[in-house]
């Protein structure tokens, strides 16, 4: 196993998302015609096919939709670690890891509030990870 996570390779259609995470911003897209907010990125709305879409910042707030705790070796990861899917406040879901939290069923509770945190992977790529929400996040 290599010491670093498997790096994503942006395409022209997703470059803005990875440019965003590099600046510690989580970016989604919203349709100007039907108001649908979506992820993963593409230059048209998956709900209505309109090309009138804009990039919008996400709040970074999310809840834990589901997860597994992997015991399997993976590049750049030390088992056990969570592979999680979170529901963003704006609606879309994304895969991530829940960090700064014991990697146990007791600590990882479905629907728990989370917030985004950014982890640089290399000079081009920063990954959006999530941690238990702090402060006044509900």
Partner 1 sequence: MKPGSIAIVGAAETTKMGVIPDVSQTQLHADAALNAMKDAGLKPSDIDGVACAGEFPVTLADYLGITPTWLDGTYVGGCSFMLHVRHAAAAIAAGYCKNVLITHGESGRSRLGYLGPSILPTSPYGQFEAPFGTSGPPTMFTLPVLRYMKTYGLTHEQLAMVSVVQREWAAKNPRASQKDPITVDDVLGSKMIAYPFRILQCCLVTDGGGALILTSADRAKDFPTKPVYILGTGESSESPIISQMRDYTSSRAFRVSGGNAFKSAGITHKDVDHAMFYDAFAHLPIFGLEDLGFVPRGEAGAFIAARNTAPGGMLPVNTNGGGLSYMHSGMYGMYALQESVRQMRGIAPAQVKNAKISVCHGVGGMFSASGTVIMSNQLP
Please report, as ranges, the residues that interact with partner 1 according to CB under 8 A: 5-11, 14, 40, 65-77, 80-81, 83, 85, 93-97, 105, 110-111, 121, 125, 127
Ranges of beta strands (E only) in 58-102 are: 61-70, 81-88, 93-96
Closest CB to partner 1 among 23 and 122? 122
Closest CB to partner 1 among 7 and 57? 7
**Distance of closest approach, residue 135 Cβ to partner 1, in angstroms:** 25
Dist CA 77 CA 123 (whole Å): 19
Alpha-carbon distance values, 54 to 4, 23, 38, 43 (Å): 33, 18, 10, 9
**Distance of closest approach, residue 20 Cβ to partner 1, in angstroms:** 13
- Reduced to 3 states (helix: H, G, I; strand: E, B; else coil), residue 86 is strand
Closest CB to partner 1 among 69 and 137? 69
**Distance of closest approach, residue 136 Cβ to partner 1, in angstroms:** 26
Dist CA 110 CA 108 (whole Å): 7
């Amino acid at each position: 196993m290599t010491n670093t996570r498997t790096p994503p390779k942006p395409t022209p259609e997703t470059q803005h998302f990875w440019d965003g995470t590099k600046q510690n911003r989580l970016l989604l897209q919203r349709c100007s015609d039907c108001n649908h907010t979506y992820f993963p990125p593409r230059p048209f709305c998956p709900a209505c096919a309109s090309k009138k879409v804009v990039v919008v910042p996400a709040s970074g707030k999310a809840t834990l939709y589901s997860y597994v705790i992997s015991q399997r070796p993976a590049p750049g990861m030390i088992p056990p670690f969570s592979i999680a899917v979170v529901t963003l406040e704006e609606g879309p879901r994304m895969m991530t890891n829940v960090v700064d939290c014991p990697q146990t069923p007791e600590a990882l509770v479905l629907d728990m509030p989370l917030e985004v945190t950014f982890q640089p992977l290399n000079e081009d790529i920063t990954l959006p990870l999530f941690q238990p929400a702090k402060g006044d996040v509900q």
